[in-house]
Structure 1
Amino acid sequence: MKKINRRDFLGAGLILGASTLLGQETSKNLLPQGEEFIPPVIAFPEKMPMKTISDRPPLLGSARGRELFTQAITPNNQFFVRWHLPDIPTYINLNEFRLEVKGSVSTPLSLSIDDLKSKFEPAEVTAVLQCGGNSRKYYAVTGQATHGVQWDHDAMGCAIWRGVRLKDILNRAGVKSSAKWIGLNGLEKPAMDETPDFFREMEIEEALEDQIIVAYAMNGEDLPYLNGFPIRLVIPGHFSDSWVKMLSEVMVMDTYRESFFMDVAYTVPDNDCECVISGNDFEYKRKPIAAMKVKSVIGYPLPGTAIKKGSRVKIAGVAFDQGKGIKEVMISLDSGKNWSAAKLGEDHGKFAFRPWSYEWEPKTKGEYTIMVRAINRIGNIQPMPHEIGWNAGGYQYNAVDSVSVQIV
């Protein structure tokens, strides 16, 4: 990328993100010292006022921050937005829009939105959409700053997605026995020829799993424009970098096609900890990020909240993982020395947010650090911040969450 102008990137955080997308990794002391960039709050179409990290491409976080994550379903008008390329259509004619299915198939397809709604059995899944860089700013808290937009926890949300099973579309097209991969592309395009397309791939066996859908609805409404209208891919349990928005092309392929966003940008070290082990040595075998890790977030109280001694406080938040399901959520009120079980809320499905709550009646004045950690049904547990493995892209952060409050 030869030129960066203010409309393309607003704020230092996104400029750092651009270096990650170009594969330029530097040391852990990347972030400059100084004041934190505070995004303006702007109202976009179909959205409440949101923190605007960039308007081209759109990167929007909820202005409510943590408070949004005390509920199982995230409202469409507060759902985060994360595009990668600046050239996004400002108008789509549904009479002309088609999803093209081609390549190593017996019958290439050109499907309208009406075709998807009328010629296929509808499917629905409640699933978390989470950016691979969600919570990235907390790597810096551990003394290990990273590349990328310094997201708080607000690059995530949970919605009820409705659409068509991808496998039903592929079966209608007739996948040839030689096919091993599918490639997915959307309508967002780079501003310059030398910038790669946002092209994603998956193995054919994964593409034929029941839960993967091509969604045309979100929480009972048409997809919001900024969240991928008219259709987007939904891969429950996986990070959002592969949930292609404005999906326009499904290419069935016999061989893997190397692509920047699969092989360079959204990658972590291909080792057991998925982290950099040897200091500043960034010459390592890579693999793309895929399945999410077990995670929980405190939605209330907010950091710095003043709470009257003796009052009853309902600590609340959400937990989720890659689809194994949340077994329990634990709360600490003494910076991790002792842990107690929180109450789990309604189960909306194995890929969804699991709300949790904990009743607390503080007896003593002073500062308290509330911590939360989740454990899933296969025994995965959130690590403490000092235990989490570091990677240059700042991906997959899932350390124990904490909030400091003042009892007065």
Structure 2
Amino acid sequence: MLSRRSFLKGSLVATAGGLLVPKYVLASVDPSLLSTAAKELPEGVLEEQVLEALPGKKPLIKKTYRAPNYETPVKYFNEIFTPNDVFFVRYHLSNIPEVDARTWKLTVGGDAVERPLELTLNDLKTKFEQVELVALCQCSGNRRGLFKPHVAGVEWGYGAMGNAKWKGVRLKDILEKAGLKANALEVVVDGADTGVAAGTPDFVKSIPVWKALDENTIIAYEMNGEPLPHWNGFPARLIVPGWTATYWMKHIVSINVVSKPFDGFWMKSAYRIPLGKFPIRDRFISQETAVNTPITEIVVNSLITNINDGQTFRLGQVIEVRGIAWDGGYGINMVEISTDGGKTWREAELGKDYGRYSWRQFTYRFKPSKKGAYTIMAKASNRLGQTQTFELIWNPAGYHHNVVQKINIKVV
């Protein structure tokens, strides 16, 4: 018999406000919000996750509370820009301060700069050229929960990503104002969040100086025309278009240019992939070892966003397949659709191009000629000729899942 203690242990969950409440008080996650991830996530994940709204957010799929990790339901990906109030939330550390924009400062230093700086938010808005770009922000571990065999970590489905319009200043312009020395190798960034327990490694990352000087790498203070939400990095965050979100430092407070490879935990031990296993062009050479390399650019991928697995359609009905496709910034040039499980493929119509770092919407319509089961698949390719895989490229951290999605429907 289930004891009272066991019942309470399994039935109480922490809310965003820190209260312990019975799990039934919170909304369970409808499988349609997860798309086909609902049938691939590890046993127990579906039962444990709930819909919950963080302050300033609509209900998202809660993966963990400390640190807060919340996934965007797939239905919101039918929009070209992911609304701020449903944008996914990803943290490693639990102490996340409410930053006061009036007192916030960004320090710029390190052994490889000539003139250390201290900048306010007003300085960013008035002393540098303002730029705006559209870019996909995607967690490195997006789709980790779909790995087989499963791997440790936050068991994300499809929703640890979002597409937004970012406004801010070029990191290049800030670094030029500080003056780079000839030996500048990496740019190290830190945010305001910290660990609760003593000894927790601070979440500090570095990027190669050549990536920091890319004109598309920016310090953003606006997202979709509004100030950054608290949970997405207010008052300013680093935007590294084309690269996974591990480098997109939230609540950024310091930039240090260094002449030697940064050896912090989150660089030397975490967010690494086996060397040579993925078709990556942007390599972080100064951080490579003989066996692995830091994850960098996003691999080519796609997602069907408007059809649920198991959905039923009427014979004679025109079925519209909509979705999104993206890569690391080389540009999507084709999405192919199969309605017969991969036997034949037809090219989908691509939507408006919002820039090479944005996801690209696609549409395909077909009219089934007979009743029965259909398996719909979408396969994206980019301008380099890279395409999605049909077999998982397994790796121990659960990164770069870009297996072609399959959705089964019925025509009656």
TM superposition score category, shorter chain reference: 0.7 to 0.9
Alpha-carbon distance between aligned partners in 2 of 1:307 and 1:205, rounded to the nearest angstrom = 51
Is the 1:73–1:353 contact (alpha carbons within 8 Å) kept by the matching residues of 2?
no
Describe how 1:236-247 pairs up with structure 2 within 5 A.
236-247=241-252
Query: 1:407 — aligned with what?
Result: 411
Which of 98, 105, 108 matches 2:105?
98
Change (3 A) 1:176 1:379: same
The answer to whether the aligner puts 1:160 opposite 2:165 as a matched pair is yes
Contact 1:346–1:354, Cα closer than 8 Å, also in 2: yes
Which one-letter code corresponds to 1:172 in the other structure?
K
Cα contact 1:7–1:56 (8 A) shared by 2: no
CA shift at 1:7, angstroms? 5.5
CA distance in 2, matches of 1:35, 1:136: 12
> What is the number of residues matched between the two proteins?
369
Indicate yes or no: 2:47 matched with 1:37.
Answer: yes
Contact kept, 8 Å, 1:274 with 1:389, in 2: the verdict is no
Q: Is the 8 A contact 2:132 2:168 kept in 1?
A: yes
Q: Higher relative contact order by CA 8 Å / sep ≥ 6: 1 or 2? A: 1
Question: 2:29 matched to which residue of 1?
Answer: none
The residue that corresponds to 1:260 in the other structure is: 265
Report if aligned partners of 1:164, 1:213 keep a CA contact under 8 Å in 2.
yes
Structure 2 stretches of 5 or more lacking a match? Answer: 1-11, 21-40, 281-288
What's the counterpart of residue 307 of structure 1? 313
CA distance in 1, matches of 2:368, 2:74: 22
One-letter amino acid of the counterpart of residue 343, structure 2: K
Preserved CA contact (<8 Å) 2:58 2:85: yes
d(CA) in 1 for partners of 2:178 and 2:202? Answer: 25
CA contact (8 A) 1:7 1:54 kept: no
Contact 1:269 1:285 in 2 (8 A): yes
Residue 146 of structure 2: aligned partner: 138
Q: For residues 322 and 357 of structure 1, what CA distance do their matches in structure 2 show?
A: 21
Q: What TM-score comes out, normalization by structure 1 length?
A: 0.86
Aligned residues: CA RMSD: 2.2
Tell me the secondary structure at the aligned position of residue 241 of structure 1. Answer: helix
> Which amino acid letter does the alignment assign opposite residue 92 of structure 1?
V
**5+ unaligned residues in a row in structure 1: which ranges?**
11-30, 276-282
Deviations along 1:336-391, one digit per CA (max 9) or x if unpaired, are 1111100000000000010000012223222221100001011001011x2x3100
Alpha-carbon shift at residue 155 of structure 1 (Å): 0.6
Aligned to 2:323: 317
CA positional deviation for 1:39: 1.3
Letter in 2 for 1:53: K
Residue 84 of structure 2 corresponds to: 76
In 2, Cα distance between equivalents of 1:92 and 1:130: 24
Write the mapping of 1:272-287 to structure 2, written as runs, cut at 5 A.
Answer: 272-273=277-278, 285-287=291-293
Partner SS for 1:168: helix
8 Å contact from structure 1 (residues 274, 391) kept in 2:
no
Work out the CA distance in 2 between the residues paired with 1:32 and 1:127.
30
Residue 110, structure 1, aligned to residue 110, structure 2: no
Q: Which amino acid aligns with 2:395?
A: N
Equivalents in 2 of 1:35, 1:41: separation in Å?
Answer: 13
2:3 maps to what in 1? none
Say if 2:42 and 2:150, in contact at 8 Å, map to a contact too.
no
Q: Residue in 1 aligned with 2:129?
A: 121
Q: Does 1:196 align with 2:238?
A: no
Say which SS state the counterpart of residue 300 (structure 1) adopts: coil
- Equivalent position to 2:60, from 50, 56, 64: 50
Contact kept in structure 1, 2:81 and 2:162, CA below 8 Å: yes
* 1:361 equivalenced with 2:367 (yes/no): yes
Answering whether residue 255 of structure 2 is matched by residue 250 of structure 1, we say: yes
User: Is 1:69–1:298's contact at 8 Å kept on the other side of the alignment?
Assistant: no
**Secondary structure of the corresponding residue to residue 265 of structure 1:** coil
Distance 2:181 2:350 in 1: 46
TM-score normalised per structure 2: 0.85
SS in 1 for 2:231: helix
Moved more, 341-350 or 362-371: 362-371
Other structure's SS at 1:37 match:
helix
Which residue of structure 1 aligns with residue 155 of structure 2? 150
Confirm or deny: 8 A CA contact 2:130 2:169 kept in the other structure: yes
1:403: Cα distance to partner? Answer: 1.2
Q: Runs of 4+ in structure 1 displaced over 3 angstroms?
A: 5-10, 31-38, 272-275
Quote the Cα distance in structure 1 between the aligned partners of 2:218 and 2:44: 44
Contact kept in structure 2, 1:81 and 1:226, CA below 8 Å: yes
Kindly state the Cα deviation for residue 60 of structure 1 after the two structures are TM-superposed.
0.9
Structure 2 distance, partners of 1:221, 1:251, is 28
Distance 1:322 1:32, change over 3 A: closer
More deviation, 52-61/311-320 = 52-61
Cα distance, 1:71 vs structure 2: 2.5
**In percent, how many aligned pairs have the same letter?**
38
- Please say if residues 196 and 260 of structure 1, whose CA atoms lie closer than 8 Å, have aligned partners that are also in contact: yes
State the alpha-carbon separation in 2 of the partners of residues 58 and 196 from structure 1: 17
